Chain A
Amino acid sequence: MTATAAALLQGASTDFLRNHSPFNRMEPEALSFLAERAVLGFHPRGSEILTPEMGVPAHFYIVQRGKVQARQTGAAVVTEYASLAIGPGECFPIGAISARRPSTNAYVASEDSFCFRIAADDFLQLMQMSPAFHLFCTQYIASLLNQSRQQLQTTFTQRAAEQQTMTTSLGKLIKQAPFAVSAESTTREALERMNELQLGCVVVVDSERHPVGVLTQSDLLPRVILAAFDLDRPIGEVMTANPHQLGASASAYDAALEMATHGVRHLLVVDAEGRLEGVVSERDLFSLQRISLRQIRAGIESAADIEALQRASKDIRQLALNLIAQGIGAEQLTQFISALNDALTRRIIELALAQHDLAGIDFSWVAFGSEGRHEQTLSTDQDNGIIWRAPEMANGGQVKKRLLAFAGVVNSHLAACGFPLCKGNIMASNPELCLTLEEWKARFGSWIREPDPQALLNASIFFDFRVLYGSERPASQLRTWLNKTVKGNSTFLRMMAVNALQVMPPLGRIRDFVLEDDGSIDLKKSGARLFVDVARILALRTGVDSSSTVQRLRQAAARMGVPAEEVSAIIDGFNFIQLLRLRSQHLETEHDAPGDNRVNPDSLNELDRRILKEAFRQARKLQLRLKLDYQL
């Protein structure tokens, strides 16, 4: 075929594409790659272009003219839109084709439409060759993540609604129709019914159901029993007249104030015409008291004993549920949990210090592992240690003995507050982990020099350290020393990389996910860990001081010149996995089952499943980078 003709047609198509995002930002070579492979087809109004039943999409479509409707199929609507119109210059499918799985949408031409299309393999190649197109696709995936978060919010709003707040209107708090009698009823009759219905009070109303009085259980002793009141006389004679009442639109807070002001335990709720709607008791309001971050924090800081801290620990879990309900992201959520757990640990240490005289001894209480990374979830056991320095002229052995005794108490108190003792004995009360700065350097140094499997495992736990109590200085000295030492030891980094690549993201070739024997995916082992391990290596290599995975990725990427958008997509993936972990832990602990990190992908909704897959793909991308860097 003549080159000029092809060039003319491709030029015309390129001009069209150039008027639309993301093609207007695409590199010229990528754009001509696209134009050379694009094929134009026609889809009459009402015809299906792509449906889930067609399996893995063979083509990527760009609407040239007309309109295509994307409709979600299946019973549940998984994104914020039920259907979406795709017009000229817009393209589909992105998620399905990059993940090589069937589309979740049905794409139907809603007008006579012309669409360019390229083969799926060309799409993937285009993504590789064009950073602009790649960015467009990753941002699209990120927007899916956003939608999922919003949806998570809705899921939890229902739970949140059950735990109403003090701003809830009284009308919504009424649990049952009130029991009311007329003033002429006999007292016996009223009390019998009250007993039968197990009520705390009986309301007396007039013929139009306006409350005229109330008799509560606590009135019975003084007014009825002790006064030997004749039960056959009308209740009107013994009731409290002019009972306290509030409109149904008043808030729970108003009711609490009214009760506190007048010293009553029951309030009558009336409608706009003053007719009785129900009764609210003091107990109804108590269950509404919500725990706030500030309250927990204050509770922890003023706790006088372990019992108080145990209560605070329960409150932390409750708060985490509320925060998930508010749709807060995993990064902030784990930070909140970390912050509160840090405060809890500090208070435990302070309480222990009151009974252990460590005056003159310089020590820092250090957290390792997930706690060291600020990534604690709700089922993390304790990993901690001590860096200490003996005062001059002191007997080191004696000092260490005192520190170990103190650490033993802290460890057991932490266990009492919901941080299980570490099975691997990674605890400050272990003499091996209560070391001076020089001793820590020697230990770390030995792992770096001889990176056998145990040493690598140790590195993956202990290199993620931060100070929870005491001076930051020895830890930052240790960090500086560590970064410098590792930087000069490429063999060690390479071994770390080999180790990090041992676990692959559980993405299947045929099915979406590779599952464990019980049909689930371990989100810790084959999810979060993939990101954490690579982030650690990148941080060590580029000398990043932070111990948090997200910070490590961000800072290392900046130093390596990786585009911020690309690293954001990776971080989104990591955060999504963390959020799923928290969610499953939380839902489980509510049923008193031990929280774990497993999720059954079939139990996820379609959107979450898609995103989980994208998240694993980000992990794979991250691993691939490491593989290339170390030629593994």
Chain B
Amino acid sequence: MTGWLSRLIPSRSGPQPLSARAAATMEQWQSLPDVDLARAHYETRYTVVNTEATGLDLERDRLLAVGGIAVDCGLIHLDAACYEKLDPVPAEALSALLGLAGKGPLIVFNAPFNRGMIEQALLQHLGLSHAFTWIDLYLLMPALFPERFERPVRLAEWMASFGIETFQRHHALGDAWAIAQLFLAAEARALSMGLSTAPALVEQERAYQQRLKI
């Protein structure tokens, strides 16, 4: 069975009913109002999300775990985080991530893969398709800090540039911890450039991407 087919066909045991806790989380999530994106960074709760998968191929590889860290009003609270393995109940893990993130903007490093993995999983396991605001630091960082790197570079290079360390690389939460710290710096820089809201970041990222293509 090819990757894409396996994801479309329900797993052997069929769609599992959500546990009471996950159901409550989802119910609560559904009832959340849409986030006011006009708010400044220092009034906004962003959530850094990151994945662990069997490989880097969106088509073939499978999501193993998700990690998330909230960056709330410009601060990282160490207890506002989650790390969930998808096995044995993927819906459970994903609802925990949603519980953390709410409907706020999501931060990833390398959106095509991470965003893709997460959107697929949400659809497959929770039947959820929601238009989150996604911000990709892979593109936003060089747009904000051209004096450090003009072209997109890997996470390890940004970490080295800021002297950021983490307790475990290539771990959904370990990398999220590094990305979250990068995002703190990004928020401060963006603010000094007059980019004070999430849509402004999205626009900056898009403009940068356009420039790259030229």
A-B complex is real: yes
Measured between beta carbons, the chain A residues less than 8 angstroms from B174 are 8
When C-beta atoms are compared, the residue in chain A nearest to B174 turns out to be A8
Give A468 to B76 CA distance when docked, in angstroms: 67
Q: Do B187 and A5 have beta carbons less than 8 Å apart? A: no
Q: Do A9 and B188 have beta carbons less than 8 Å apart? A: no
When C-beta atoms are compared, the residue in chain A nearest to B84 turns out to be A2
**B91 in the interface, Cβ–Cβ < 8 Å?**
no
**B105 in the interface, Cβ–Cβ < 8 Å?**
no
Known contacts A12-B177, A15-B167; is-contact A42 B82 (Cβ 8 Å): no
Q: Do A2 and B76 have beta carbons less than 8 Å apart? A: no
Known contacts A1-B79, A12-B166, A13-B78; is-contact A43 B69 (Cβ 8 Å): no
- Count of A-B contacts judged by CB separation below 8 Å: 79
Stretch at the interface among A32-40, A518-526, A587-595, A601-609: A32-40
**B83 in the interface, Cβ–Cβ < 8 Å?**
yes
**B164 in the interface, Cβ–Cβ < 8 Å?**
yes
Number of interface residues of B (CB under 8 A): 32
Measured between beta carbons, the chain B residues less than 8 angstroms from A112 are 162, 185
Give A450 to B14 CA distance when docked, in angstroms: 89
Give A4 to B181 CA distance when docked, in angstroms: 19
Q: Do A5 and B83 have beta carbons less than 8 Å apart? A: yes
**A114 in the interface, Cβ–Cβ < 8 Å?**
yes
Measured between beta carbons, the chain A residues less than 8 angstroms from B78 are 6, 9-10, 13, 35-36, 38-40
**B142 in the interface, Cβ–Cβ < 8 Å?**
no
Q: Do B185 and A42 have beta carbons less than 8 Å apart? A: yes
Measured between beta carbons, the chain A residues less than 8 angstroms from B81 are 1-2, 5-6, 8-9
Residue of B83, B163, B192 near A44 (CB, 8 A) is: B192
**A431 in the interface, Cβ–Cβ < 8 Å?**
no
**B100 in the interface, Cβ–Cβ < 8 Å?**
yes
**B80 in the interface, Cβ–Cβ < 8 Å?**
yes
Residue of B67, B68, B77, B82 near A39 (CB, 8 A) is: B77
CB B177 to nearest CB in A, in angstroms, measures 6
**A563 in the interface, Cβ–Cβ < 8 Å?**
no
Measured between beta carbons, the chain A residues less than 8 angstroms from B187 are 42
CB A147 to nearest CB in B, in angstroms, measures 32
Measured between beta carbons, the chain A residues less than 8 angstroms from B80 are 1
Q: Do B163 and A65 have beta carbons less than 8 Å apart? A: yes
Q: Mark A494-510, 1 if CB is under 8 A from B, else 0.
A: 00000000000000000
Give A114 to B162 CA distance when docked, in angstroms: 10
Q: Mark B136-177, 1 if CB is under 8 A from A, else 0.
A: 000000000000000000000000001110110000011001
Give A398 to B36 CA distance when docked, in angstroms: 100
CB A308 to nearest CB in B, in angstroms, measures 73
List 7 additional contacts besides A40-B181, A40-B184; criterion CB under 8 Å: A1-B79, A5-B81, A5-B82, A8-B83, A12-B166, A42-B181, A43-B188
6 pairs of residues in contact across A and B, judged by CB atoms under 8 Å: A5-B67, A5-B82, A6-B79, A39-B78, A41-B74, A44-B185
